[in-house]
């Protein structure tokens, strides 16, 4: 975890807090859940899939939390969870998150990301104890702008299914603050990476997998897209800081960008990962990606100033930790795990 003094984290805040995390078994959700458990919170985790074999969560984590299988589209379930467990804080991360899948299945995307968000917000509005709600939006909620980097006051003009779903969820969250005074804040993050991301359709884990298996990486874009990347531990710290200060600092209704503010081209990112692996870059530019925003990166001055948040990892440091984790994971878990990570088959 990042340096606590630097980030001014008040871990006492989380002791015995009852926290609902939707989408708790996802990449970011699992890291956030683990941090909350370590901090002494009583976590109720909601996810449409539970008991994933590939996760950073340990058996001890599962023993120390309450696991609920279900979807955020189920409003009755959400209201019951908040009332029965007397929830104090809600982190809403559950969403359809893969851009390609969202484009292929727009109705499922809108149901999960838009209806699911208003269900969470409505359940929180009627809950008696909820004192803080953090809703995970995305840099994609901004849509495409000529003026960069994006600042929080930029219009939300998503055009494609995933982007639009995040723009809508973001606006719904603002509505619940302005109309009902809900103590809710919004996060918009750059591309999150780190240990435990088993979704190999994403650039960083796929590049690591190809480097470790000797494959040629297939880059769907033209390799010139510009993004910012942020290490998962730094995002977890941002979420916790924001949640514990929503009421203390009167942050309800506000959105915060979280980024390391080091935008990089796709091709350069791939080369940096291969360097971290100590091997020669092997990739092929397909240039087949559609509906992708060419240039997208964030300004995080607001989070730095108001939350005193700072990313503790440079891109180089974060990549070193990430690569080292995948290498250790393969070495410690033997041939079975090696095949899962690299996608290779036994000969």
pLDDT digits (tens, 9 = 90+) for 22-76: 999 999 999 999 999 999 999 999 999 998 888 999 999 999 999 999 999 999 9
4-190+230-261+297-313, CATH topology level: Rossmann fold (3.40.50)
- The segment(s) of the chain belonging to CATH 3.90.25.10 are 195-227+262-292+314-347
DSSP state, residue 67: E
- The segment(s) of the chain belonging to CATH 3.40.50.720 are 4-190+230-261+297-313
Both tokens of 343, joined, read 């996608």
Mean pLDDT, residues 258-270: 96
Q: Which residues are catalytic?
A: 162
Q: Are strands 226-227 and 264-265 parallel, antiparallel or unpaired?
A: antiparallel
- Rounded to 5°, the CA angle 278-284-287 comes to 135
pLDDT on residue 293: 86
For residues 233 and 292, what is the distance between their CA atoms, to the nearest angstrom? 26
**What mean pLDDT, rounded, does the chain reach?**
92
Read off the pLDDT of residues 87-132 as tens digits, 9 standing for 90 and up: 999 999 999 988 889 999 999 999 999 999 999 999 999 998 999 9
Both tokens of 283, joined, read 């990739």
Q: Which CATH class is domain 195-227+262-292+314-347?
A: alpha beta
């Amino acid at each position: 975890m990042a340096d606590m003094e630097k980030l001014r984290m008040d871990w006492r805040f989380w002791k015995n807090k009852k926290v609902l995390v939707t989408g708790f078994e996802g990449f970011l959700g699992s890291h956030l859940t683990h941090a909350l458990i370590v901090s002494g919170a009583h976590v109720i985790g909601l996810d449409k899939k539970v008991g994933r074999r590939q996760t950073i969560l340990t058996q001890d984590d599962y023993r120390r939390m309450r696991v609920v299988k279900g979807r955020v589209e189920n409003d009755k379930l959400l209201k019951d969870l908040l009332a029965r467990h007397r929830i104090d804080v809600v982190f809403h991360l559950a969403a359809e998150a893969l851009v390609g899948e969202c484009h292929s299945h727009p109705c499922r995307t809108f149901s999960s990301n838009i209806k699911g968000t208003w269900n969470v917000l409505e359940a929180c509005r009627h809950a008696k104890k909820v004192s803080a709600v953090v809703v995970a939006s995305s840099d994609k909620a901004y849509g495409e702008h000529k003026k960069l980097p994006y600042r929080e006051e930029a219009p939300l003009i998503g055009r494609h299914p995933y982007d639009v779903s995040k723009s809508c969820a973001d606006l719904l969250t603002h509505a619940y603050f302005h109309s009902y005074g809900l103590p809710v804040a919004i996060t918009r993050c750059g591309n999150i990476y780190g240990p435990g991301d088993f979704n190999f359709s994403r650039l960083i884990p796929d590049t690591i997998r190809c480097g470790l298996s000797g494959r040629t990486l297939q880059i769907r874009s033209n390799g010139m897209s510009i993004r910012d990347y942020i290490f998962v531990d730094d995002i977890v710290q941002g979420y916790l800081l924001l949640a514990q200060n929503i009421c203390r600092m009167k942050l309800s209704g506000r959105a915060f960008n979280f980024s390391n503010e080091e935008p990089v081209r796709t091709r350069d990112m791939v080369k940096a990962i291969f360097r971290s692996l100590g091997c020669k870059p092997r990739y092929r530019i397909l240039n087949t990606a559609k509906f992708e925003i060419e240039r997208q990166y964030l300004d995080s001055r607001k989070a730095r100033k108001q939350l005193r948040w700072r990313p503790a990892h440079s891109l180089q440091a974060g990549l070193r930790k990430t690569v080292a984790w995948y290498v250790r994971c393969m070495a410690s878990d033997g041939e079975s795990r090696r095949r899962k990570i690299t996608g290779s088959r036994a000969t």
